[in-house]
């Protein structure tokens, strides 16, 4: 009846610089992720929608921490006794106290 998908993505500062990708493009990208299912309804996807967008920003162009370490800071929890019927049945926990130096976090949605 309800499924929660977790997706990971990356933006390379080096490649962005080489291609001319800028902060305006980044803003458009965040908007596209937030609304990616709203303009693309299909029977296969039903009422899918983005529920949370968590962004890790690095001070260094080469990154301040490995992506897998940052992704491990985000936990999706659900009471095993409850059958999920909505996003409200899940709890997203972010260990902000363990953020590496030079990394900030932003939550959208």
pLDDT tens-digit map of 55-98: 999 999 999 999 999 999 999 999 999 999 999 999 999 999 99
From residue 21, give the alpha-carbon distance in Å to each of 31, 32, 46, 68, 98. Answer: 15, 15, 33, 24, 30
pLDDT at 38: 75
Q: Which residues pair with 56 in a beta bridge?
A: 105
pLDDT at 1: 74
pLDDT at 49: 84
pLDDT at 40: 66
Residue ranges per structural domain of the chain: 13-108
């Amino acid at each position: 009846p309800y499924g929660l998908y977790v997706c990971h993505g990356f933006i390379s500062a080096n490649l962005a610089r080489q291609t001319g990708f800028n902060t305006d493009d980044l803003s458009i990208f965040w908007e596209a992720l937030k609304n990616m299912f709203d303009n693309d309804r299909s029977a296969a996807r039903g009422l899918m929608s983005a529920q949370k967008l968590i962004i890790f920003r690095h001070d260094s162009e080469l990154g301040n921490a490995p992506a897998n370490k940052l992704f491990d800071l985000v936990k999706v929890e659900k009471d095993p006794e409850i059958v999920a019927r909505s996003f409200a049945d899940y709890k997203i926990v972010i260990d902000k106290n363990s953020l590496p130096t030079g990394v900030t976090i932003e939550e959208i949605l």
